[in-house]
């Protein structure tokens, strides 16, 4: 009966279904091309320049907004950086509205008393959010070079001595980016998957884009800028939610070159709350689309090689895969019904290549990133390959959260910069449930729950009619939406049950009254 209802719409539904699978397959092929460029260039490391005779002045900028759990750790780590004391300035760009400001003021006073050039710049209006804070700090900074660290980072002592010589030796170099590593990688399945996702970006994407002669971006933290490269690009601007990506492209369009140093690592803390992670992903997705709207036409008109333009286009539009994934999710059941009874040869000729291009390419991409990501925080990279199925599910599960971000980025500039909560979680066993700074539980959670139920029914249908080849595909969707839904609601229910649970004292009182 269902097939009879859908039959009049079959050509349009199946055409849309295969079109979306085809576009996702093209993005998958692009991942494989990045892997190929990475493998060809992974050993082409730039020669290490000699130390400068006179170390230049560097301003280290630390943008903060309500970071009471990690502000002290960050300040202590930055003040321990090995660099000539009279050549390093530290700026605390503090937009906080809570106790963070007192924590920062105490640490600044402590280190100023020990001769460190450290300043507390507190704003009360948050105009421009992080970009506005960096803009205000840059206006009064005394450094020729500007290093930036977010609150969740713990920079190593050697960071400046290992990065500044490259900028001094090459006057055409505008920015040096370090690779992120993760101090709480093994905390949970969520942090393990996040770490692999970021390894894909830093190990494969950044290396391939940089060494392949294409544009790549400053990641908002763990990098150091030449001040003039910021000035020539038009300065920090806040009409997108990814001010780092926006400035990176504008600076490279102005003729500055960037350097990526994968061996220069910067430890950071991953979000342990899935709602904080989703908030972060929402901001990144919306901001990248806004940057594409702002700069793609200018990029296409620039005097650049075609491969650079194509790579930039894919880089700035790849979040468009999320709305496509949402539509594909809704089309899965109609497509199953309409293709029931199709010849196996047709499925193998059409469905299998598209499925492989869209999914197996992801597995290869992240597997290669793990084989190339060895460091002290990640000694057992090969063992992390077991998390790849969970990663694929999580990538699908983000579609509900990121689709509104992409659509919003297409029509609106700027927006509210919702920062990701950090809790100073470094190892298993530490709890964040009772800590402050909680990301909101939005409507997307319930849509994820409905889609999880939808794909459970799709799997039941596939089992009933014998569509065995569809089961792995359906399971990825079921796993992704179920995981995002459960991780979002379980901590909320747990906190609610603890609030409603009577204390031992109240139970004694009730007992005595009885």
Q: Give me the active site residues, please.
A: 95, 244
Neighbour tally for 371: CB within 10 Å: 14
- Contact indicator for 238, 284 with CB cutoff of 8 Å: no
- Contact indicator for 448, 485 with CB cutoff of 8 Å: yes
Neighbour tally for 332: CB within 10 Å: 18
- Contact indicator for 477, 451 with CB cutoff of 8 Å: yes
CA distances from 174 to 148, 257, 258 (A): 14, 6, 6
- Contact indicator for 191, 272 with CB cutoff of 8 Å: yes
Structure tokens given for 37: 């460029």
DSSP bridge partners of 88: 58
Rounded Cα distance between 468 and 476, Å, is: 14
CA distances from 107 to 155, 233, 266, 301 (A): 17, 34, 22, 49
Backbone Cα Rg of the chain: 25
Give a three-class secondary structure readout of 224-283. Answer: EEEHHHHHHCCCCCCCCCCHHHHHHHHHHHCCCEEEEEEEEEEEECCCCCHHHHHHHHHH
Closest C-alpha among 236, 234, 229 to residue 252: 229
Q: Are strands 223-226 and 145-148 parallel, antiparallel or unpaired?
A: antiparallel
Burial 468-477 (b: 16+ CB within 10 A, else e): eebeebbbbb
Structure tokens given for 500: 């409603």
Give a three-class secondary structure readout of 360-426. Answer: HHHHHHHHHHHHCCCECCECCHHHHHHHHHHHHHHHHHCHHHHHHHHHHHHHCCCCCCCCCCCCCCC
Structure tokens given for 475: 């399971």
DSSP bridge partners of 225: 146, 175
**Strand order of the sheet with strand 257-268?**
117-122, 88-94, 58-64, 145-148, 223-226, 173-182, 257-268
Structure tokens given for 435: 């800590």
Tokens 């090689």 label which residue? 305
Backbone φ and ψ of 180, nearest 5°: -80, 140
Rounded Cα distance between 306 and 149, Å, is: 34
Overall residue count recorded for the chain in this entry: 514
């Amino acid at each position: 009966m269902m097939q009879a209802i859908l039959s009049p719409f079959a050509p349009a539904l199946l055409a849309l279904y295969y079109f979306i699978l085809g576009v996702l397959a093209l993005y998958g092929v692009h991942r494989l091309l990045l892997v190929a460029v990475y493998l060809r260039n992974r050993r082409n490391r730039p020669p290490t320049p000699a130390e400068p005779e006179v170390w230049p002045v560097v301003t280290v900028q630390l943008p903060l907004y309500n970071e009471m759990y990690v502000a002290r750790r960050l300040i202590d780590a930055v003040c321990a950086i090995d660099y000539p004391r009279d050549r390093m300035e530290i700026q605390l760009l503090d937009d906080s509205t809570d106790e963070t400001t007192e924590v920062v003021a105490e640490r600044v006073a402590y280190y100023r008393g020990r001769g460190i050039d450290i300043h507390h710049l507190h704003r009360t209006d948050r105009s421009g959010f992080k970009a506005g804070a960096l803009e205000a700090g840059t206006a009064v900074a005394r450094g020729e070079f500007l290093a930036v660290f977010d609150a969740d980072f713990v920079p190593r002592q050697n960071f400046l001595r290992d990065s500044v010589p490259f900028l001094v030796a090459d006057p055409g170099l505008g920015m040096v980016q370090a690779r992120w590593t993760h101090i709480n990688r093994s905390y949970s399945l969520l942090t393990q998957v996040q770490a692999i996702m970021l390894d894909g970006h830093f190990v494969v994407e950044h290396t391939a884009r940089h060494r392949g002669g294409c544009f790549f971006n400053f990641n908002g933290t763990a990098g150091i800028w030449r001040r003039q490269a910021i000035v020539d690009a038009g300065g920090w601007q806040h009409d997108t939610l990814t001010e780092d990506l926006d400035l990176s492209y504008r600076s490279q369009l102005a003729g500055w070159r960037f350097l990526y140093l994968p061996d220069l690592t910067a430890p950071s803390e991953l979000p342990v709350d899935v709602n904080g992670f989703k908030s972060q992903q929402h901001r990144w997705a919306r901001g990248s689309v806004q940057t594409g709207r702002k700069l793609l036409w200018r990029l296409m008109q620039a005097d650049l090689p075609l491969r650079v333009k194509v790579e930039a286009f894919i880089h700035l539009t790849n979040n468009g895969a999320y709305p496509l994934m949402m539509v594909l999710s809704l089309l899965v059941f109609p497509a199953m019904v309409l293709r029931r009874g199709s010849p196996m040869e047709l499925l193998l000729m059409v469905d299998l290549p598209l499925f492989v291009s869209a999914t197996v390419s992801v597995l290869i991409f992240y597997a290669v990133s793990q084989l190339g990501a060895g460091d002290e925080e990640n000694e057992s990279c090969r063992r992390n390959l077991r998390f790849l199925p969970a990663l694929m599910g999580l990538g699908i599960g983000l579609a509900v959260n990121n689709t509104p971000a992409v659509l919003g980025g297409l029509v609106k500039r700027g927006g509210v910069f919702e920062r990701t909560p950090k809790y100073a979680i470094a190892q298993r066993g530490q709890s964040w449930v009772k800590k402050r700074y909680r990301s909101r539980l939005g409507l997307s959670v319930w849509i994820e729950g409905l889609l999880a139920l939808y794909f459970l029914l799709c799997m039941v249908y596939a089992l009933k009619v014998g569509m065995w080849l569809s089961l792995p595909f359906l399971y990825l969707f079921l796993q992704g939406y179920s995981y995002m839904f459960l991780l979002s609601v379980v901590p909320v229910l747990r906190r609610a049950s603890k609030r409603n649970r009577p204390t031992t004292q109240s139970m004694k009182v009730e007992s005595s009254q009885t």
